[in-house]
A and B are shown apart, each in its own frame.
Chain A
């Protein structure tokens, strides 16, 4: 079989299960689920549609990921550097590319596709790996080219360099891959790129520092240096290419990377497993409770998980206190700081939406609840009685709100205090609103996480999220909070709106939870 046939076959294979994946996630969205029968996986029309979506996604992701990367990581930041935009663009691009080779080599990424194709379908490892690797490189060139041209030219980078940038990425990837393959021959050990070793971490950190710090201080490479470095890497890449092509031991590399334990270790699974493991090892035996029944149960749960729950909340509280103390000191020592902080207090409240989102422990808590408690307890019928569910829901909600209020209260008292210390405001309402809206946001996120958990119960035992709605709502929450960053809205307006919103939301969410949770809080197959 020719290499191109192997590639087409592997592409079809990947497409087939991506297609099924799309149908599966469609089925996990309510409403749509009801409309779709099981025989769906066989339905030719829908299959064609999903197949089309899958291919479309392949094309879009090829371009979109590159565009976002260049735009967010380089284009937006280049103007904040001391060096010229053009030089900063080239410089950051160069070092991010270097950092990137540690993170994404394609060959050393253990993915399910590889496992399915090479071990289950018994395709030739070398042909499979090489053809997919070249496809990966091709996607880099095609995906990068329009945007290095567009964004590069906009930043004032010479056209030649814009055209060469994608080739530079390919060269660096090739050189690094050849090195990695060679190191496999030497050591006999294939490094899973998702399990970063200290050398790689240092490499990434150093590249990132070089990428941003140097141009920030005014030391960015110019076009001549970039071209020189490009030529060097291109020459090395030619040799590397022939090494990669002639390399014979792809099968044994795959064997090491794709053993039963590690082939599921892509980043997402690894994160889930790490959480799972830490949830289970972080149970502390030392705890007692004088309560009884469900209160006893919840009390022990919270105490046994204090490492995950209360301790980290305490750390955050401590950090908040430190930041507050610093700001207060700054007010007294640096005279210019006062008006700045005062202005921030009056316009920067949206920023705290993200902060409150970020410090809320709700998600970890619900994960722990599921992993260490509910996934087993929900098999007991007494635990699923509406009364039991609602009683425990209330107990848990109290605990979560309480835990999250620890750091929140520091912020809630700290902000008005800072406002007052920096010269105050004419409108007393500002003090009240700062306090109320922080507390409201804290309670809001606690309720939000708990209610989503009880209404959608998205986890399965692997802590994989098996509920489309949950993922959508979660991302939505994140984006809303993220977009609040940097928005300057007077505290009077934002504080009022957010407080009212939180209170209404909390009321509605709780009513929904009390109505629906007895039906929705259950195990998923």
Chain B
């Protein structure tokens, strides 16, 4: 399975943010999307998630050699700032989510199993989400993005808000589920990208570029990435 971006163009008024971004993201890999502040990472995600209409180009999903348009169920999108309905408890939110997606989720498990999966403790499951910490809200948001089992997961700066232990848990979790998913992970923390991701893609000057590591040492690879990101300055 592949997510194929073909010459995606998106501009706001006169500012062209994406200038013909093309790339093929494959299943089974975690892609680290690196870009400088304002380079358009979130815009790219919003375009893939169809929150924004693209001006030109196409975003398609290739399955068994057949290309088709994306549909809402294909994508799970985790935002950088976690947003959850504050008036529900964690358990109620999950119940609600399972209720309305009951047809789409093949094997619904008991709610507590989902909590176990993201390591949210027993004592927190029946508290209002408004009283959850930032990290726990993030976990909830990730959880509902994972449960429906979309084939594409877009994660916008997801680990920056976690403490080191939870960040480590989440990394394991992502590695655990990657074989069945296309995971794109945006960040501007290079160490995180190098540590977790199988491929580094940079968004610079409105286009996507794959960074081949080849035989480079980590240091040399970092330099190469920074050189590539610097190109933006000359635009």
Q: Are B85 and A285 in contact (CB under 8 A)?
A: no
Q: Are A381 and B79 in contact (CB under 8 A)?
A: no
> How many of A's residues come within 8 Å of B, CB to CB?
26
Among residues of B, the one whose C-beta sits closest to the C-beta of A375 is B83
Contacts of B88 in A (CB 8 A): 297, 300, 304
> When the two chains form the complex, which single residue of A38, A372, A379 contacts B13, counting CB atoms closer than 8 Å?
A38
A375 to chain B, nearest CB (A): 7
**A7-B81 Cα distance, complex, nearest whole Å:** 42
**Per-residue 0/1 for A295-329: is the Cβ within 8 Å of any B Cβ (1 yes, 0 no)?**
01100110011000000000000000000000000
Q: A280-B86, A388-B100 are in contact. Are A379 and B79 (CB under 8 A)?
A: yes
Q: A38-B13, A381-B72 are in contact. Are A301 and B96 (CB under 8 A)?
A: no
Q: A283-B128, A285-B128 are in contact. Are A382 and B95 (CB under 8 A)?
A: no
B81 to chain A, nearest CB (A): 9
A-B contacts counted at CB < 8 A amount to 62
From 15 to 73 in chain A, residues with beta carbon under 8 angstroms from any chain B beta carbon are 37-39
Q: Are B83 and A293 in contact (CB under 8 A)?
A: no
> When the two chains form the complex, which single residue of A285, A296, A297, A376 contacts B84, counting CB atoms closer than 8 Å?
A376
A385: Cβ under 8 A from any B Cβ: yes
Q: Are B128 and A379 in contact (CB under 8 A)?
A: no
**A164-B198 Cα distance, complex, nearest whole Å:** 81
From 84 to 102 in chain B, residues with beta carbon under 8 angstroms from any chain A beta carbon are 84-89, 92, 95-96, 99-101
Q: Are B87 and A385 in contact (CB under 8 A)?
A: no
Q: Are B13 and A373 in contact (CB under 8 A)?
A: no
A292: Cβ under 8 A from any B Cβ: yes
Q: A39-B14, A293-B100, A381-B77 are in contact. Are A376 and B85 (CB under 8 A)?
A: yes
Q: Are A296 and B87 in contact (CB under 8 A)?
A: no
From 368 to 389 in chain A, residues with beta carbon under 8 angstroms from any chain B beta carbon are 372-373, 375-377, 379-382, 385, 388
> How many of B's residues come within 8 Å of A, CB to CB?
25
Q: A283-B130, A381-B49, A381-B77 are in contact. Are A296 and B86 (CB under 8 A)?
A: no
B84 to chain A, nearest CB (A): 6
Q: Are A373 and B87 in contact (CB under 8 A)?
A: yes
**A389-B79 Cα distance, complex, nearest whole Å:** 21
A294: Cβ under 8 A from any B Cβ: yes
Q: Are B96 and A296 in contact (CB under 8 A)?
A: yes
B196: Cβ under 8 A from any A Cβ: no
Among residues of A, the one whose C-beta sits closest to the C-beta of B93 is A297
Contacts of B99 in A (CB 8 A): 292-293, 296
A366 to chain B, nearest CB (A): 15
B144: Cβ under 8 A from any A Cβ: yes
Q: Are B13 and A37 in contact (CB under 8 A)?
A: yes
B142: Cβ under 8 A from any A Cβ: no
**A296-B94 Cα distance, complex, nearest whole Å:** 12
Q: Are B96 and A373 in contact (CB under 8 A)?
A: no
B75: Cβ under 8 A from any A Cβ: yes
Q: Are B86 and A376 in contact (CB under 8 A)?
A: yes
Contacts of A376 in B (CB 8 A): 83-86
Contacts of B49 in A (CB 8 A): 381
B10 to chain A, nearest CB (A): 15
Contacts of A283 in B (CB 8 A): 86-87, 128, 130
**A385-B104 Cα distance, complex, nearest whole Å:** 15
Among residues of B, the one whose C-beta sits closest to the C-beta of A381 is B72
Q: Are B72 and A382 in contact (CB under 8 A)?
A: yes
Contacts of B79 in A (CB 8 A): 379
Q: Are A304 and B100 in contact (CB under 8 A)?
A: no
Among residues of A, the one whose C-beta sits closest to the C-beta of B89 is A285
**A473-B86 Cα distance, complex, nearest whole Å:** 30
Contacts of B12 in A (CB 8 A): 38
Contacts of A38 in B (CB 8 A): 12-14
**A388-B130 Cα distance, complex, nearest whole Å:** 23
List residues of B whose CB falls within 8 A of some A CB.
12-14, 49, 72, 75, 77, 79, 83-89, 92, 95-96, 99-101, 128, 130, 144, 148
- Given A376-B83, A381-B75, 18 more A-B residue pairs with CB atoms under 8 Å apart are A39-B14, A283-B128, A293-B96, A297-B85, A300-B87, A304-B87, A304-B88, A372-B86, A372-B87, A373-B86, A376-B84, A376-B85, A379-B79, A379-B83, A381-B72, A381-B77, A385-B72, A388-B100
Q: Provide a sorted-by-A list of 11 A–B residue pairs whose CB atoms are within 8 angstroms.
A: A37-B14, A38-B14, A296-B96, A300-B87, A372-B86, A372-B130, A377-B83, A380-B144, A381-B75, A382-B100, A385-B72
List residues of A whose CB falls within 8 A of some B CB.
37-39, 280, 283, 285, 292-294, 296-297, 300-301, 304-305, 372-373, 375-377, 379-382, 385, 388
Query: Which 4 residue pairs of A and B lie closest in terms of their CB atoms, listed nearest first?
Result: A376-B83, A38-B13, A293-B99, A304-B87
